[in-house]
Structure 1
Amino acid sequence: MRAVLALTALLCISGAAAQANAPLIQGESGGWRQGRATFYGGPERFLQNFADRGPPPEYGFGNAIFGSCGYTQQNYTEGVTYANVPYPKEALAALANIDEDFPGSCGRCYEVRCKNGLVLSNGTSIFNTTQGYNLPAHAPNATDDYNRTWLGNPTEALQEQSVLCWNTSSIFVVITDNCPCIQTNVTTGEVNGVNPPCCGDVYHMDLSYWGFQQLAHPLNGIMMTEFRPVSCDTHEPLQFNPGFINSTIYGDKVETGWAWFPYKQNTDNFWLPGAGIGGSNATCVELGPKAGGLTLASRQAQKAGYQPFGKASAVQFWLKDKNGSSTIPDLSVSVGDYDDKKYCSAVKISSLTPVQKQGTYAQFSIPITSFQCPFPATQITQIGFQNSDGQLVSFCLDEIVLVGGGNGSGKVSSSSVP
């Protein structure tokens, strides 16, 4: 988790893919809904105006590089900066975990636009400028990256927050993080705070500084929005609730609804161009002699309307040795309940017969019943590939698919980003 001081109070940030085949919104409204947004991260040039909020280089604003969906936590040996995260920095966003479509939100794309006027606080009351840290009160002339100054607050005399948007244009973001209502210690699980902006009855997301400034001046700190879920490929509007979870877990990258977590790895690639079937992307991980692996999970997806494994009969995937050997790495494959930390029996690759081969890749299909889960398949929300024997192993995975699973349909291509 990353602790971030938002405009109103202490805000903790614990931190894409295609949605083709998801049903489109019907009607002319386009599915727009009302929401609210704050921002996190930003350039030190702007953030240092608020040195009393916290120490450099974050100054209490947090960092959008590291997200709870795992996408930006890659290539540790190179060092992680905004220059090598897999999505444009203006597209990074976090969803409040009390939002009704939070389950399976990793990788989901949204179209967001600023809404002029009064900002709502929790309880749908009007946001009061004395509720927390007021950015304009500390640096009213601070400019954004386009050297623009703040347009002011028309209701400042009433101590009410009003925002003047730049225009009515929209941005497209991908959910790479979450904004938790209840702040907990990541080690002990102990509750140690509450994040007011992400705890109310107003739909809320955190945009990155660079996305926020496309819509309104960052000195506003908070604004009302209109938003809708969209296809990451086509930007067509999609059905709002329940959120779409792709039955393809990994295509050209991690697909909509799925987080990506390598652990105890030497190196890893979120997507490695040309390493997949037919020259597509693949996700590749090198694990050292100590046990480690790669987990793909759909958070809070045990809820009705989601449950990606609920109707699945099998999980299929392509696997190869990353270094070109014809020997297939003998990984252990397991499934489980990501949020409740409950797990099923593991299946060794060496116990399986490939369905087919293509070059150094072999395709495997594992019936869900083979994992002998002590709980219903509706509660399964993750799949993991572990180096259980502790040997040095380097592998690539491609086309990880739930046969008959997900609440979308079929395999998709996901070569585009927002």
Structure 2
Amino acid sequence: MASTMLLVLAALALATVPAQAWSTGRATFYGTDGWSIHSGSCGYGQLAEDVGTGWDVAALADVVSDFQGSCGKCKEVKCKPTGFNDGYGAYLDRANVCFDTEASVVVMITDTCPCHYPGNYYSNKRWCCGDMYHMDLSMWAYEKLADPKWGVIAVEWRDVACNYRPSKPAQRPWGGKSDMPDFYKPRPGWNRYMDKRLPMFGGNRRLKL
């Protein structure tokens, strides 16, 4: 009961977050195994497509300034046509990879992109260790902004309420359907009521983002 009340209070607070000025960052994607987006560090359980922001979620680098308390908060993200460096100093040109620079997606923070992660040391150090503001978007969200073949893109982002509706929502499929036919299939025995975000949205179905 106490945890449910906290989620409800958090949802009420999030609903009043005003849209802020845009900031620049960088985004990779995860979830190609079809399960990792459902086992995030925030503990929301297997996510339902029709709850809150659905599968439009993100893992935030644990060294960025607003990481603390970021679980359950939402960001509006759009692709930015520019180049940038990775954490090892290599320059990546992404000036011509955005599907639509005016379209955006709203993602909820449900997981962490840890800087210190021995099991994937090279990649995590490359992206999540603070050389640039970084988030790991779910494949579902990323492929609305750019073709996954690019692996990483520059983004503009800002904090918004989780019920915020972009003026031009990014849509699937910009770059075609995922090449993973079982990507979005839930595990056996799953149902939408296993999504612990439900109380945050009063049991409502997916927000029309």
Q: Specify the TM-score bucket, using the shorter chain as the normaliser.
A: 0.5 to 0.7
Describe the shift of the 1:85–1:163 C-alpha distance in structure 2 as closer, same or farther (beyond 3 A): same
| Structure possessing the higher relative contact order (Cα contacts under 8 Å, 6 or more residues apart) | 2
Residue 201 (structure 1) aligns with: 131
Q: Distance in 1 between matches of 2:109 and 2:151?
A: 19
Describe the shift of the 1:161–1:84 C-alpha distance in structure 2 as closer, same or farther (beyond 3 A): closer
Contact in 1 for aligned 2:44/2:196 (Cα 8 Å): no
- 1:127 pairs, out of 64, 69, 91, with 91
Deviation track 1:216-272 (CA, whole Å, cap 9, x = no partner) reads 111010000000010112359xxxxxxxxxxxxxxxxxxxxxxxxxxxxxxx84459
2:74 partner amino acid: C
Contact in 1 for aligned 2:48/2:195 (Cα 8 Å): no
How far apart are 1:164 and its partner, in Å?
Answer: 1.7
Q: Normalised by the size of structure 2, how large is the TM-score?
A: 0.66
1:127 partner amino acid: Y
Deviation track 1:36-70 (CA, whole Å, cap 9, x = no partner) reads 0000123xxxxxxxxxxxxxxx3xx9722211111
Residues 238-317 of structure 1 aligned to structure 2 (within 5 Å):
269-270=194-195, 281=199
Residues 122-271 of structure 1 aligned to structure 2 (within 5 Å):
122=87, 125=89, 127-128=91-92, 160=93, 162-167=95-100, 168-183=102-117, 193=121, 195=124, 196-235=126-165, 269-270=194-195
Aligned pairs, number:
168
Higher Rg: 1
- 1:70 pairs, out of 39, 43, 61, with 43
Residues 91-106 of structure 1 aligned to structure 2 (within 5 Å):
91-106=56-71
Q: Distance in 1 between matches of 2:59 and 2:197?
A: 25
Contact in 1 for aligned 2:44/2:197 (Cα 8 Å): no
How far apart are 1:87 and its partner, in Å?
Answer: 4.8
How far apart are 1:166 and its partner, in Å?
Answer: 0.4
How far apart are 1:120 and its partner, in Å?
Answer: 2.8
- Partner SS for 1:72: coil
Contact in 1 for aligned 2:59/2:112 (Cα 8 Å): yes
How far apart are 1:193 and its partner, in Å?
Answer: 3.5
- 1:35 pairs, out of 25, 33, 36, with 25
Contact in 2 for aligned 1:119/1:162 (Cα 8 Å): no
Q: Distance in 1 between matches of 2:194 and 2:28?
A: 30
How far apart are 1:92 and its partner, in Å?
Answer: 1.6
Residues 38-117 of structure 1 aligned to structure 2 (within 5 Å):
38-42=28-32, 58=33, 63-73=36-46, 87-89=53-55, 91-117=56-82
Query: Which structure 1 segments of 5+ residues have no match?
Result: 1-15, 43-57, 74-80, 129-159, 186-191, 237-267, 274-280, 283-411
How far apart are 1:112 and its partner, in Å?
Answer: 0.1
Contact in 2 for aligned 1:71/1:86 (Cα 8 Å): no
Q: Distance in 2 between matches of 1:163 and 1:119?
A: 13
Contact in 1 for aligned 2:94/2:154 (Cα 8 Å): no
Q: Distance in 2 between matches of 1:217 and 1:193?
A: 25
Q: Distance in 2 between matches of 1:116 and 1:169?
A: 13
Residue 15 (structure 2) aligns with: 20
Describe the shift of the 1:126–1:17 C-alpha distance in structure 2 as closer, same or farther (beyond 3 A): farther
How far apart are 1:119 and its partner, in Å?
Answer: 2.9
Contact in 2 for aligned 1:72/1:86 (Cα 8 Å): no
Query: Which structure 2 segments of 5+ residues have no match?
Result: 1-9, 167-192
Describe the shift of the 1:70–1:219 C-alpha distance in structure 2 as closer, same or farther (beyond 3 A): same
How far apart are 1:210 and its partner, in Å?
Answer: 1.4
Describe the shift of the 1:270–1:88 C-alpha distance in structure 2 as closer, same or farther (beyond 3 A): closer
- Partner SS for 2:143: helix
Q: Normalised by the size of structure 1, how large is the TM-score?
A: 0.35
Q: Distance in 2 between matches of 1:118 and 1:235?
A: 28
Contact in 1 for aligned 2:38/2:44 (Cα 8 Å): no
Q: Distance in 2 between matches of 1:17 and 1:179?
A: 23
2:59 partner amino acid: A
- More strand by percentage: 1
